[in-house]
Structures are given as C-alpha cells and as structure tokens.
Structure 1
Amino acid sequence: MIGYLAGTKAGARLYNVFHHKLVAVLVLLLGCSFGLQWVMLTGVILFGHSAMDRFFGFGLKFDDSFRTTHLGRIGKKDGRRG
C-alpha cells in the first residue's frame, strides 16, 4: 500500500511483487535451504496472506487503479449505497 504514494503504477507493481504466490514459495524455499526459521515463517505468512486475498476477491492489481484487479473490479458495481 505504501507504494501507492508514488503513484498507481509503482503501487501496483510493488503490491503485485509481495502478493505473488511464487515469491512467497521462493522465500519459503530460501528459508528452508539456509535453515532460517524467520525466513520460512515469512514465506508461510506471505503465501497465506496472498491466498486469503484471492479468497476474498482481491487479485493482482492493474496499474490504472487500486480497485482494478485480475479477478475483476473491487467494490460495489452500481455505485448505490446500502
């Protein structure tokens, strides 16, 4: 989210890096390779967080808006409240 302070393009790219499941798996494998438990835990947390985001409909972001994802648009469809 902090990346969005630099604009939507930078924000989307930074968000996507940290929410890509392959990155989480690589962090986990890196931790396993070197026996670093805190790195393994970081990989597990990243993977779980990414999976939870997908479950709730938050996908990888396009650079036009935070609300536009590869799973569709986030938020109300018709603009009505309530």
Structure 2
Amino acid sequence: MSLLLRLEHLALTVLFVVLYAASGMSWWLFAALFLAPDLAFAAYLFGPRIGAMIYNAVHSWIGVVLLAAISWAADLPAGYAICLIWAAHIAFDRTLGYGLKYQTDFKDTHLGRIGRS
C-alpha cells in the first residue's frame, strides 16, 4: 500500500483520538472498545464468505456514519464517543495496511495482500 495512504489514515487516527480526548469521555472506555471491532474476526469460524462479510460490515465507515447520525439526532454523547473509538480503530487498521476483506482469504484486502508474498 502506498505511503501516502498510510499517512492519510495515520492522520485520521490522530484526529479521532484528539476529538475523543476533547469529548471528555473515559479513557477506560477507549481502551476497552478500541480493539472490539476485531472480534468480528471470529466470524471466520463460519468460513471465509461469512467471515469477510461480518468483518467488512464492522470495519466499514458506513456503521460509523450511521451511529454518528443517530447520536447527533438523539443527542447521545456516549454514541459520539463510541463513533470516535470505532473510527480511530478503522483508521488505525488502514494505517497498518488492514483493509476490507475479500472472500478468497483473510489476507486478501482492498488495500492489497497482508503479509509477505
């Protein structure tokens, strides 16, 4: 993956962490939830098709945007906090080169193949 894409996602990671810090929410919550989206990896126990579908649903920006909209409409500060944690996680994953998965193999992503060829 290009260095520019990694730097772009690193900048987003920093932005989301700074916004989270400004929210005044608990850092314990951040620590507890930051890696929670990776639990979607367990869906691979049901095969690569189901695994990729669930993993991608949790690692897509669509969920973050929907939760942000709901949180804004309902004035839910905890929802904002969860959005920022979730967004930081996705951006950090992209910084490391982890993208949305193809059904062929966990290592096949929209950002290229993970690991050594």
1:23 is displaced (CA, Å) by 1.6
Q: Percent identity?
A: 36
- Out of 10, 26, 31, the residue aligned to residue 66 of structure 2 is 26
Residue 43 in 1 paired to residue 83 in 2? yes
1:39 is displaced (CA, Å) by 1.8
1:53 is displaced (CA, Å) by 0.8
TM-score when normalising by structure 2:
0.62
Structure 1 residue runs of 4 or more that deviate by more than 2 Å after TM superposition: none
- The root-mean-square deviation of aligned C-alpha atoms, in Å, is 1.1
Q: Per the alignment, in what secondary structure is the counterpart of residue 65 of structure 2?
A: helix
Deviations 1:21-57 (A, max 9, x none): 1221211121121122222222111111111111111
By relative contact order (CA 8 Å, sep 6+), the higher-ranking structure is 2
**Bigger proportion of residues as helix:** 2
- Counterpart amino acid of 1:75? G
Flag structure 1 segments of 5+ consecutive residues without an equivalent.
Answer: 78-82
C-alpha contact 1:5 1:11 (8 A) present in aligned 2: yes
Greater displacement, 52-61 / 34-43: 34-43
